[in-house]
Structure 1
Amino acid sequence: MDLDTVREVVVARERADLAALTGDAAVLAGGTWLYSEPQERIGRLVDITMLGWPALTVTDAELEIAATCTLDELDTAVLPPEWSAAELFPQACRALLASHKIRRTATVGGNVCLGLPAGAVLAALTALDATLLIWGEGGRDRRIPVAHFVLGPGRVELRPGEVVRSIHLTSAKMRSRTAFRKIALAPLGRSGSVVMGRADIDGRCAITVSAATMRPVVLEFADMPTPGELTATIMGLAREVWYDDPHGTPAWRRHVSTVLAGDVLADLREVRS
């Protein structure tokens, strides 16, 4: 779609160029959502794809994912074999309703910053307890857990002039055991519920529910919960947590989420045994 309100495109080649993110400016990376519908409030685009950020950086301590890393780069990444949690990345990328062309263009940072319930890559990063590095005006940086970044559908904790620089996951979390389940009303339809489980090397367990909820919801346990404990925890979530749209009613989403969570828990228990 043509964005006929855009008067200027700024190609950022260094951090100082991000000062153009003022007023009616917006960040351009993959642009797959930006060009999908009218953007009448936008008068300037700031292209961050020429900043030269490496898509993925692996160290002994962590995995760093650049905000400009494409879904295809994340999907096909070759990571250390002991990082078993990396299997969530292709599962999440392929849970999205997107063509091969979109996967080669859409970015991880875009999926996170859109804050949409169906953001499966956002959910995977939340499930793995990732942290965002955010660049602010005047060289000010801040870090925030991905789990706290999304406030609701399309609403994120991003201040004017800020840009998500990268996503960070510790090697300890990358060595976690994981499990994944998804359901949709149609084979190629938007996800009705996506549930991801993580069993840490210290025995802790986290179950993340997304697509069915207004934002990713992380249920944390000091040890592997029983099926009854997990079901009770999900059923105890406030009614306002559950998303409502043509792809599923809140009651249906809550029900299928408990079923998927039970399957995820069974997978984690099976791996442990």
Structure 2
Amino acid sequence: MDLHTVDQVLVPATRTDLPGPSTGVGFIGGGTWLYSEPQPHLSTLVDLAGFGWEPLTVTEHGLEIAATCTIEELCRSELVAQFRAQQLFRDCADALLASWKVLRHATAGGNIALSFPAGAMTTMAVTLDGELTVWRPGSGEYRVAVKDFVTGNGTNALGVGDIIRCITLPTRSLLARTALRKLAQTSLGRSAVVVAGRKDVAGFTLSVTAATRRPHVLRFDAHPSASELADALRVIPADCYFTDVHGSAPWRESMTALLAEEVREELT
């Protein structure tokens, strides 16, 4: 789609090349969503590819995923083949309603920045205890857990001019067993319920996304029983589940419980 209000595209190589914070400035990761619908409030686009960030970096603490790393790179890179959780990367990519063309260009950081309930990279990151490094305008930065970054349906903690620099995943999460279940009301429909689990030395972690306006993460010191899991799910307020064309709130809540039990059983 042509963005007729945009009159300049910037490709910065350093932070000093970035424009000042403005609601009229948009940042391009892969651009797959940005160019999919009108953006009348934008007059300037900033292409983050100019920074030349390394897509994936294995560190002593885990894995650093550049915000500009494409979903295809994340799923197929031999660099992450050493981690058991690579399967979750692929499962989450498969949960996206997207063609191979989109997956080749859509970025991990962009998917999280959109903060849609069905954001598959959000599911991946919250399940693996992911943290974001965010650049503030100027030279400052801060870190925030992805589960706290997304605050609602399409809303998040980003301020004007803030840029997601990378997603960091800890080693213990990357080496864990994982499982994912998703449900949509049509074969090609957007995910209405997504539940993912992780089992590692620290215990059992379950994430609920797509069905709720923001991610919810449940943690257990040991593998929970079916009744313990059911009790924990009741902590999620009923009004956190929402109704849209992809499903009603009561249906989403019921299906979340069903899929959560399937994940629990798989990781037993």
Relative to the length of structure 2, the TM-score reads 0.96
Letter of the 2:248 counterpart: T
| Structure 2 match to 1:36 | 36
Q: Deviations over 1:145-185 (max 9, x none)?
A: 11100000110101111100000011111111111111111
Task: Name the SS for the 1:19 alignment partner.
Answer: coil
Task: Name the SS for the 1:50 alignment partner.
Answer: helix
Letter of the 2:165 counterpart: R
Alpha-carbon contact 1:10-1:20 (below 8 Å) kept: no
Instruction: Give, in whole Å, the separation in 1 of the partners of 2:97 and 2:47.
Output: 25
| Equivalences for residues 1-273 of structure 1 within 5 A | 1-79=1-79, 83-202=83-202, 204-269=203-268
Task: Name the SS for the 1:84 alignment partner.
Answer: coil
Alpha-carbon contact 1:185-1:192 (below 8 Å) kept: yes
Alpha-carbon contact 1:235-1:254 (below 8 Å) kept: no
Q: Give the CA deviation at 1:81.
A: 5.3
Instruction: Give, in whole Å, the separation in 1 of the partners of 2:94 and 2:18.
Output: 32
Instruction: Give, in whole Å, the separation in 1 of the partners of 2:239 and 2:31.
Output: 31
Alpha-carbon contact 2:23-2:41 (below 8 Å) kept: no
Q: Give the CA deviation at 1:250.
A: 0.5
Instruction: Give, in whole Å, the separation in 2 of the partners of 1:155 and 1:233.
Output: 25
Task: Name the SS for the 1:245 alignment partner.
Answer: coil
Q: Deviations over 1:98-126 (max 9, x none)?
A: 01111111110110000001101111111
Q: Give the CA deviation at 1:236.
A: 3.8
Aligned length in residues: 268
Instruction: Give, in whole Å, the separation in 2 of the partners of 1:81 and 1:10.
Output: 35
- Closer/same/farther in 2, CA of residues 136 and 79 from structure 1, 3 Å limit: same
Q: Give the CA deviation at 1:233.
A: 2.0
Alpha-carbon contact 2:216-2:236 (below 8 Å) kept: no
Letter of the 1:256 counterpart: M
Q: Give the CA deviation at 1:60.
A: 3.1
Instruction: Give, in whole Å, the separation in 1 of the partners of 2:44 and 2:244.
Output: 32
Letter of the 2:265 counterpart: A
- Closer/same/farther in 2, CA of residues 13 and 81 from structure 1, 3 Å limit: closer
Is there any run of 5+ residues in structure 2 with no aligned partner, and where?
A: none
Paired-residue identity, %: 42
Is there any run of 5+ residues in structure 1 with no aligned partner, and where?
A: none
Task: Name the SS for the 2:138 alignment partner.
Answer: helix
Instruction: Give, in whole Å, the separation in 2 of the partners of 1:221 and 1:129.
Output: 14
Q: Give the CA deviation at 1:15.
A: 1.6
Letter of the 1:209 counterpart: V
- Closer/same/farther in 2, CA of residues 153 and 59 from structure 1, 3 Å limit: same
C-alpha RMSD of the superposition: 1.3
